[in-house]
Amino acid sequence: MICLSSTAGSPDGALRQLRRDAAHLDLFELRADFFAELQSEGSNQHRGEAGDGEVGADLAGAVNWGRRLSELAAEARSDWRALRPEAAALGIILTIRRAADGGRYQGDEGFRLLVLEEALRSGGFDYLDLEEDLLGSDAERSVVAAASSAGATIIRSYHAPDGISAELPHRAARAATRENEIPKLAVHADGSAAFLRIIEAGEALQSVRRIVIAMGPYGVAGRILAPRLGSFLTYCSSDDGRQAAPGHLTPEVLAGMYRYHELTERTAVFAVIGDPVLHSRSPEFHNPVFRSQKLDAVYLPLQLDDLSALPALADRLGLQGVSITIPHKSGVRRLLSNAEPAVEAIAACNTAIRGPEDAWYGYNTDLHGFLAPLAEFFGGAEGAQHAPAAQETRGPDLTGVRCTVIGAGGAARAVVYGLLLYGADVLILNRTVARAEALAAELGEQLETVPPRCAALEPAADALVREYRDLLVQTTSIGMEPEVEADPLPFYEFCGSEVAYDIVYTPPETTWLRRARRAGCRVIGGNAMFEGQARAQSALFLTRINELHQHGAGQ
Ligand code: NAP
């Protein structure tokens, strides 16, 4: 179930958030700790007690807030009915999260508990979020009694916003002490190993209903796959700039992009792994393909700082295939059982697919993506766009084509390899010439061909570029956002007959590419390569999904 945590500073704002996202929700968590008035009243109570001892104000203020929250719950329910008459009843959770647990409430604890008790007595709540450290205390007894008479279920929460501590197993076990409560773990994951430990701590709870959340970017995949990890809900925040907790997605993204309500144990899961990875455009490419082909499959971002956590995470999340991005393209090769030849030649793998007996097979579709758009200009690549893997690609005919490659980094490896593979004569220009020379020597030897020429990326190279200008390929990060005005080849004047190819895709047309187009050149932007590699990846994913269907195994 998708639960929206309100983050508005006022009751009206919270209702507005519910109304805006109602279409995608099953549950609504009223996060009253975000209410500015409640925060200040709680803090004033605190000062009153410590200072002049006006304890009487506690009760009246708390009763007042309890009633307001109950009225708010009733209003939320009636809005919901009007907006979604066909839907099941909206479940409402009441929460006043303490600052120490990652919330906003810093006021008096007695006042907080009184507000919760009064709200429950006044009615309207299905669940109450109550902390594990209060278990069995005098302070919580009347709150628990009020929840019980109101028929509200207690979510017994353990929060660790600073990450895993030695206390985790003990605190998790305590949260699961009472059978009629729902234990909840919300622990910050400072890396992939921590994400895995949080999943394991959740599994150890063994409660039929539980909530397990790894907060922060390393746990986002777990929020999307919450049911698979045994969590009966996933929390999210409205798209208005405030997150209730780090790593929250919006309801629209969860329900739309990731089809949260359709995910089951049998859904084939794919992911892009990298660090960072949440900015990746790949989910926007692959999920619509799955949706349009009515496939029970999802593609999500899995932020990964440590490759050694990947096998266990792949098993827990049910991964069937992954896209691999910076910084794991090289390191991931040690986890593969087999790979197409280009993976070793380029020393980079950007796609891995699970096969029989859980063996993983590696591919490099960047190579395919780079080559695919060249077919239009240099012919010979019929069918290349749909080739399932780079090794089956029939490439463009580059025999005798003279090319300059700007840059000698990771992406240039695939570019130079592809150009040499299909017969081009290559010049590499790089700021660090030694890096270009090493690349040239290595690929020349591997392909048993004449190694590319190399030169420094500076004005003295102008004459050389004129010799190698049938195709110019720009592979450095120069001109990429945010430094969009930068030009990697400012000393070179285009003559207009060149094909200019910039693999940078943010912005879609770089300053350098615009200059080439205006000079009359035919141009290729980085999106063409990105989409080419994604199409080849998609073909590999679809093959894997077909295999799963044929074996009828799901996962
Ligand atoms: P990388 O391995 O870090 O290599 C960066 C290259 O840029 C090196 O040749 C480096 O020269 C050069 N460089 C960086 N800053 C420079 C500067 N200020 N002046 C001169 N040279 C500079 O990066 P990468 O993985 O190859 O990625 C490069 C670009 O390709 C990125 O913008 C990336 O987004 C893009 N890309 C696009 C696609 C696609 O599908 N369209 C795929 C992969 C990559 P030195 O060797 O001297 O440091």
Task: Tell me if 16 CB under 6 Å of ligand 1.
Answer: no
| Res 46 pLDDT > 70 | no
What domains are defined for the chain? 2-263 (3.20.20.70), 398-524 (3.40.50.720)
**Banded pLDDT at 47 (limits 50, 70, 90):** low
The helix (run of H) or strand (run of E) holding residue 80 is helix 56-83
User: Over the stretch 304-350, which tens digit does the pLDDT of each residue have?
Assistant: 999 999 999 999 999 999 999 999 999 999 999 999 999 999 999 99
Phi then psi for 396, rounded to 5 degrees? -70, 155
* DSSP alpha helix (H) spans, 333-472: 341-346, 365-371, 375-378, 410-421, 433-446, 462-467
Query: Tokens standing for 257?
Result: 């992009």
User: Over the stretch 357-415, which tens digit does the pLDDT of each residue have?
Assistant: 889 999 999 999 999 999 888 976 444 333 335 444 467 999 999 999 999 998 999 99
- The rounded percent of the chain whose pLDDT value lies above 90 is 87
Least confident of 10-14, 275-279, 368-372, 377-381: 377-381
Q: Give the alpha-carbon dihedral of 176, 177, 180, 183, to 10 degrees.
A: -20
Average pLDDT over residues 130-150: 95
Site to probe by mutation for ligand 1, drawn from 368, 371, 475, 481 as the one with most ligand atoms within 8 Å of Cβ, is 475
Average pLDDT taken over every residue of the chain: 93
Average pLDDT over residues 506-534: 97
Q: Is the peptide bond before 507 cis (omega within 30 degrees of 0)?
A: yes
Q: In whole angstroms, what is the distance from residue 94 CA to residue 219 CA? A: 24
Q: In whole angstroms, what is the distance from residue 184 CA to residue 304 CA? A: 24
- The rounded percent of the chain whose pLDDT value lies above 70 is 95
Q: Which atom of ligand 1 is nearest to the CA of 476?
A: 7
**Would you state the pLDDT for residue 387?**
39
The yes-or-no answer on residue 329 being catalytic is: yes
Q: What is the DSSP letter of 452?
A: P
Task: Tell me if 131 CB under 6 Å of ligand 1.
Answer: no
pTM over 0.75: yes
Q: In whole angstroms, what is the distance from residue 388 CA to residue 11 CA? A: 53
**Would you state the pLDDT for residue 51?**
44
User: Over the stretch 207-224, which tens digit does the pLDDT of each residue have?
Assistant: 889 999 999 999 999 999
Q: Which atom of ligand 1 is nearest to the CA of 457?
A: 20
Query: Tokens standing for 239?
Result: 């798209």
Q: In whole angstroms, what is the distance from residue 398 CA to residue 421 CA? A: 9
**Banded pLDDT at 58 (limits 50, 70, 90):** confident
The residue behind tokens 């591919």 is 363
Contact 476, 488 (CB under 8 A): yes
Q: Pick the catalytic residue from 329, 368, 413, 535.
A: 329
**Would you state the pLDDT for residue 391?**
42
